[in-house]
Amino acid sequence: MSFQTRRPTIRQVASAAGVSTQTVSRVMNKRPDVAAETRQRVLDVIDQLGYQPSEVARSLIHQRTYMIGVVTAGLKYTGPSRTISGITQAAEENGYALMIKELPRFDVHNVEPILKEFISRHVDGIVWAVPEVGENRDWVDQTPSLRGIPTVFLTMQPQAHLTVVSMDNYQGARLAVEHLIAQGYEHIGHISGPLDWWEARQRMAAWKDALQAHDLPAQDCHWVEGNWSSTSGAQAIQTLFNQYPQMDAVFAANDQMALSVLQAAQLRKIAVPQDLGVVGFDNIAESAFFSPPLTTIQSNQDTVGQWAVEELVKIILAHRQEQQDTFAPKTIILSPTILIRQSSQRIQS
Amino acid sequence: MSFQTRRPTIRQVASAAGVSTQTVSRVMNKRPDVAAETRQRVLDVIDQLGYQPSEVARSLIHQRTYMIGVVTAGLKYTGPSRTISGITQAAEENGYALMIKELPRFDVHNVEPILKEFISRHVDGIVWAVPEVGENRDWVDQTPSLRGIPTVFLTMQPQAHLTVVSMDNYQGARLAVEHLIAQGYEHIGHISGPLDWWEARQRMAAWKDALQAHDLPAQDCHWVEGNWSSTSGAQAIQTLFNQYPQMDAVFAANDQMALSVLQAAQLRKIAVPQDLGVVGFDNIAESAFFSPPLTTIQSNQDTVGQWAVEELVKIILAHRQEQQDTFAPKTIILSPTILIRQSSQRIQS
DNA sequence: CTGAAAGCGCTAACAC
DNA sequence: GTGTTAGCGCTTTCAG
């Protein structure tokens, strides 16, 4: 009943088939220059022994691993996990395996250990999927450690010398606020995300710009900073109700905070959308089932992940072929769309 | 301005420091038998060249990679991503890297390609984090491919010869229903998950058992099958209202479906919790902000992932040391707790 | 304390 | 068509 605990090597296959290791290698790599008869004999042995060539050994020879290193944070939140999902899909399709590291927080500065691990594991490329928060991108310019490993950054302020893939937060937020304005709301408050987040600043800037473009008020007492959580949204909306009594609509920087607005409105018997329009951001799965269903911005986070991998694979290929890392850095911005639901529809269409 | 595109090898470090490669190796591995002076010289060169030893080469020699293969599915849902988050944490703490594969669906049967990839990449162990759905565990008994690679399975019907880590779905659901009964509800309907899911069957069995234990009705027209989504929950609750008019409480198999119940109740002007008690399952972050806040079961999915890795690491170690794969399989069941919020509290306490 | 030789599993380059 | 040799980057074993 004892079965071999150790995997068979190419040598064992070779000797069992009565050929050299080279021939086995040729068969495994589907080279044409093997006699049909020999090939079959080798294949039989391979099948019988359950031989599986070691990708580790291959990696050592070819100096490539078909492995992409991915850095993420906050996986338990919907945004990052949707991005990762897009990454896994695209990686699978392109024949790359994924090595994933999750940072304990979003604003980790000391990324050396992670870079070193990626380098020592010899990943072919890196997807830096942590959103830009505070100074958590400072390392990029200070770290030569990347040593020319192809890297794509997600969700950050574009920089000319980096390849960046991001959703257009400004445009998305602009859509949200313009929609509210079109619905006739004139006093539109904002609950922002934490302003050390690049995305939060983008969304907020769009709110302000849209209002100003329509000569509507956008003052300091018309917005409050949240931290993405529903809890923070609950506090924020209380503050807004107090300091902005004329407010007839709210643009929340994400759906979780928008949910708190809906809850607060209900408790105060404020009718949504008649007396208060509400728009969120992200389109989490539950938002269609809030009371009332929430108008929101569809941000396609998975697509961001997919594009990042597609682009990275191109860079990796160029990098290997041309021997030069002059595959021009590029910024890819994806456009979100608005999903109009009941929470903002004051005008019957 | 040209900088070396290729990483330095141990040989380059050795010659630059005027020593042999063994000495560099000794320094890297913090061996004591190196003269302090030599060590320093080597360290200087290492630092200057930015030398990082190749884990690939090491893996080839040591026949271990410090890499765990993880298989998941449905990453965009909160459950799986919370589990992965627990896995990344525990892996980091234990010094293991993670290679992640996401199945395109939950009920994938053909797992050979994934197993083969894991084998060829020489992972030290596997965490099978896909929940048991339909026949998606049949391969386990038919596949010798695992070849003795230590493996831990999550969220499935325990089997004596497998190491399984799971949350106690039955117990959690039982808590939910017993709580409703204690609150005086007597006609408790159920919206189940898809019944090809092991977890859904467990939760449903607990609902039935709890009711029967209290001589309360649990008939076929008192429950409806959903598919975890809020959309399915919305349909299910309509059906239940129709076919179970006396119903005064609902136990939904997850929070998303419970949300639909709350929404439907509101539309029909049914007061929650006075006229309808509602309990969900999973404690998604938003559930505390539903209207009213949702009573639910805290299932600690991340802890499941953590335990899985901890256990796997133990198995890997035993496997290497004792040269035998007789580290007894074990089943680890984690107990969930109930979070009582407003949606089910009819009795003032 | 340090170095030389051998080899992990595989493949490229060259023989025959 | 097929085998032999050398070597990817590192560590182990054994000399010295």
Partner residue opposite A54 with nearest CB, options B120, B284, B289? B120
Shortest CA distance from A9: residue in chain B: B120
Structure tokens at B333: 């069941």
For the cut 90, the answer to whether the pLDDT of residue B310 exceeds it is yes
Whole-number average pLDDT of chain B: 94
- Per the listing, tokens 């050390």 go with A196
Q: Is pTM beyond 0.85 here?
A: yes
pLDDT, position A141? 87
Q: What is the pLDDT confidence band of residue B3, given thresholds at 50, 70 and 90?
A: very low
The answer to whether the Cβ–Cβ distance between A119 and B7 falls below 8 Å is yes
Distance CA B83, CA B91 (A): 12
pLDDT, tens digit, 9 for 90 and up, residues B320-340: 886 555 678 999 999 999 999
Partner residue opposite B52 with nearest CB, options A57, A120, A291? A120
Sign of CA dihedral A150, A155, A159, A163: positive
Task: List the alpha helices (DSSP H) in chain A.
Answer: 10-17, 21-28, 36-49, 55-62, 78-93, 112-121, 139-142, 169-182, 198-213, 230-243, 255-267, 301-322
Least confident of A67-71, A123-127, B344-348: B344-348
CA of A59 to C1' of C10 (A): 9
Distance CA A66, CA A313 (A): 10
Q: What is the pLDDT confidence band of residue B2, given thresholds at 50, 70 and 90?
A: very low
Contacts of A147 in chain B (CB under 8 A): 5, 7, 50
Query: What residue has its CA nearest to the C1' of C9?
Result: A57
Kind plus residue range of the DSSP H or E element containing A67: strand A67-73
Partner residue opposite B99 with nearest CB, options A97, A266, A291? A97
Whole-number average pLDDT of chain A: 94
Q: Which of residues 277-316 of A touch strand C (CB under 7 A)?
A: none
In one-letter notation, the amino acid at residue A294 is: L
Say yes or no: Cβ of A20 under 7 A from any atom of strand C: no
DSSP assignments along A280-308, one per residue = -SB--GGGGGSSSPPBEEE--HHHHHHHH
CA of B280 to C1' of C10 (A): 54
Distance to chain B for A224, nearest Cα, Å: 19
Shortest CA distance from B232: residue in chain A: A289
For the cut 80, the answer to whether the pLDDT of residue B148 exceeds it is yes
Q: Hey, is A83 helix, strand or coil? A: helix
B258 vs B1: which has the higher pLDDT: B258
Say yes or no: Cβ of A143 under 7 A from any atom of strand C: no
pLDDT, position A3? 42
For the cut 90, the answer to whether the pLDDT of residue A237 exceeds it is yes
Q: Which of residues 30-69 of B touch strand C (CB under 7 A)?
A: 33-39, 57, 60-61, 63
Q: What is the DSSP letter of A133?
A: B
pLDDT, tens digit, 9 for 90 and up, residues B68-120: 999 999 999 999 999 999 999 999 999 999 999 999 999 999 999 999 999 99
Contacts of A288 in chain B (CB under 8 A): 230-231
Q: What is the pLDDT confidence band of residue B141, given thresholds at 50, 70 and 90?
A: confident
pLDDT, position A6? 73
Nearest to B192 by CA among B265, B281, B292: B281
The set of strand D positions with any atom below 7 Å of a protein CB reads 1-5, 7-13
Nearest to A181 by CA among A210, A224, A222: A210
For the cut 60, the answer to whether the pLDDT of residue A1 exceeds it is no
- Indicate the pairing of strand A151-154 with strand A125-128: parallel
pLDDT, position B324? 56
For the cut 70, the answer to whether the pLDDT of residue A277 exceeds it is yes
pLDDT, tens digit, 9 for 90 and up, residues A104-113: 999 999 999 9
Distance CA B86, CA A232 (A): 25
Average pLDDT on B111-133 reads: 97
Partner residue opposite B97 with nearest CB, options A117, A229, A263? A117
The answer to whether the Cβ–Cβ distance between A102 and B88 falls below 8 Å is yes
Nucleotide nearest to A39 (CA to C1'): D1
β-bridge mates for residue B333, sequence order: B166
pLDDT, position A148? 83
CB environment A47-67: b (16+ within 10 A), e (fewer)? eebebbbbbbbbbbeeeebbb
Least confident of A48-52, B82-86, B277-281, B308-312: A48-52
Nearest to B319 by CA among A49, A9, A5: A5
Average pLDDT on A1-27 reads: 84
Q: What is the pLDDT confidence band of residue A349, given thresholds at 50, 70 and 90?
A: low
**Cβ B189 vs Cβ B163: under 8 Å:** no
CA of B314 to C1' of D14 (A): 34
pLDDT, position A189? 98
**Cβ A98 vs Cβ B84: under 8 Å:** no
CA of A51 to C1' of C13 (A): 25
Shortest CA distance from B90: residue in chain A: A102
Average pLDDT on B218-238 reads: 97
Query: What residue has its CA nearest to the C1' of D8?
Result: A61
Q: Hey, is A169 helix, strand or coil? A: helix
pLDDT, position B103? 98
A248 phi/psi in degrees, rounded to 5: -120, 5
Distance to chain B for A199, nearest Cα, Å: 20
pLDDT, tens digit, 9 for 90 and up, residues B80-93: 999 999 999 999 99
In percent, the amount of chain A with pLDDT more than 90 equals 92
Q: Hey, is A155 helix, strand or coil? A: coil
CA of A30 to C1' of C16 (A): 23
Structure tokens at B229: 């989504």
Q: What is the DSSP letter of A246?
A: T
Distance to chain B for A115, nearest Cα, Å: 10
The set of strand C positions with any atom below 7 Å of a protein CB reads 1-5, 7-13
**Cβ B319 vs Cβ B325: under 8 Å:** yes
Q: Hey, is A65 helix, strand or coil? A: coil
Shortest CA distance from A291: residue in chain B: B263
Query: What residue has its CA nearest to the C1' of D7?
Result: A61
Shortest CA distance from B150: residue in chain A: A5
Q: What is the pLDDT confidence band of residue A145, given thresholds at 50, 70 and 90?
A: low
**Cβ B75 vs Cβ A89: under 8 Å:** no
Nucleotide nearest to A26 (CA to C1'): C11
pLDDT, position A264? 96
Distance CA A318, CA A300 (A): 28
Three state DSSP letters for chain B: CCCCCCCCCHHHHHHHHCCCHHHHHHHHCCCCCCCHHHHHHHHHHHHHHCCCCCHHHHHHHHCCCCEEEEEEECCCCHHHHHHHHHHHHHHHHCCCEEEEEEECCCCCCCCHHHHHHHHHHCCCEEEECCCCECCCCCHHHHCHHHCCCCEEEECCCCCCCCEEEEECHHHHHHHHHHHHHHCCCCCEEEEECCCCEHHHHHHHHHHHHHHHHCCCCCCHHHEEECCCCHHHHHHHHHHHHHHCCCCCEEEECCHHHHHHHHHHHHHCCCCCCCCCEEECCECCHHHHHCCCCCEEEECCHHHHHHHHHHHHHHHHHHHHHCCCCCCCCCEEEECCEEECCHHHCCCCC
Contacts of residue A318, Cβ cutoff 8 Å, sequence gap at least 6: A327
Shortest CA distance from A325: residue in chain B: B5
Say yes or no: Cβ of A39 under 7 A from any atom of strand D: yes
CA-based angle B59:B61:B66, to the nearest 5? 25
Say yes or no: Cβ of A63 under 7 A from any atom of strand D: yes
Residue A128, exposed/middle/buried by CB under 10 A (0-12, 13-18, 19+)? buried
Distance CA B163, CA A68 (A): 30
For the cut 60, the answer to whether the pLDDT of residue A52 exceeds it is yes
The answer to whether the Cβ–Cβ distance between B144 and A229 falls below 8 Å is no
pLDDT, tens digit, 9 for 90 and up, residues B284-298: 999 999 999 999 999
Contacts of residue A146, Cβ cutoff 8 Å, sequence gap at least 6: A115, A126
The answer to whether the Cβ–Cβ distance between B121 and A148 falls below 8 Å is no
